[in-house]
Amino acid sequence: MAFDLVQYFAEQINNQKPQLLEQHSREDRKEHLLEINALVLGKLITLWRSNDKKVYQEISSPEELFIQEVARHLTTSSKNQSTLAKNELEPAVTEILRLQLAELKQLNDIGNLEVQGLRELLLGQIEHLSGQAPDWVWSTNDLLELKGSKPIVQEEISLDSTMKEFNQMVSQQHTDANEDQHNTAAVVNTTVPGWSKILEPVVAVIILWVLYCAATQMFN
């Protein structure tokens, strides 16, 4: 199972954005932020599916216009059934999208994930998102396979444990890459058997003899 960005982002939102939707009760705020967290992450996944290079570029160097366009699209979608007012929802979506992109950039820089690593990381979040939000969220961000999904029971873990899991994922990725490089080098550097060198002149003579016989028959 992939490193859990859903829980990781939720913890980062609480730590970095304590003022976000602070006018709401604790329970309502938690519910709204979980919905928006899933809404935004799901949209990044569907955008990645359609144009991974574009999303990777935005993760590497986020543009404010991209953030505003995605936030506006999610907020104004006719499928969005959030109970938040639009003037509350859009700023919250914008802030959480900005945070997710920044965190993904940091994870990419730390783990040197690049396109392949981020693909595995993002697409692996679908199972973590399962059942984590009402169906209107999946209709809005186009992650339609999660409509009607149920939560996958997981043990709640701390941020330290989450980062340890990420480090293990990065270590495994680098180990696999090193093994691939080693195997490739082994194939390239395979020693040519000595007997093949000895037989090379013999083989050449045989080939020339066959060609000579063929030519003789052609002109007879």
Task: Give me the residue spans of the domains in the chain.
Answer: 5-167
Please report the pLDDT score of residue 127 as a whole number: 94
pTM of the predicted model as reported, rounded to 2 decimal places: 0.73
CA dist., res. 60 & res. 76, Å (int): 27
| Tokens coding 171 | 């270590």
pLDDT along the chain (220 residues), means of 10: 90 96 96 98 98 97 97 97 97 98 96 95 96 97 95 60 58 60 55 51 52 50
Please report the pLDDT score of residue 136 as a whole number: 98
Per DSSP, helices labelled H in 82-193 are: 86-111, 114-123, 126-129, 135-141, 159-188
In what helix (H) or strand (E) does residue 15 lie, and over which residues does it extend? Answer: helix 5-16
CA dist., res. 165 & res. 11, Å (int): 15
Give which of 168, 41, 33, 30 is closest to 101, Cα–Cα: 41
The alpha-carbon radius of gyration of the chain (Å, integer) is 28
Please report the pLDDT score of residue 99 as a whole number: 98
Please report the pLDDT score of residue 2 as a whole number: 75
Residue 166 CA to its chain's centroid (Å)? 13
Please report the pLDDT score of residue 218 as a whole number: 47
Termini Cα distance of the chain: 74
Please report the pLDDT score of residue 219 as a whole number: 45
CA dist., res. 183 & res. 195, Å (int): 25
> What sign for the dihedral angle of Cα 92, 12, 148, 49?
positive
Please report the pLDDT score of residue 150 as a whole number: 83
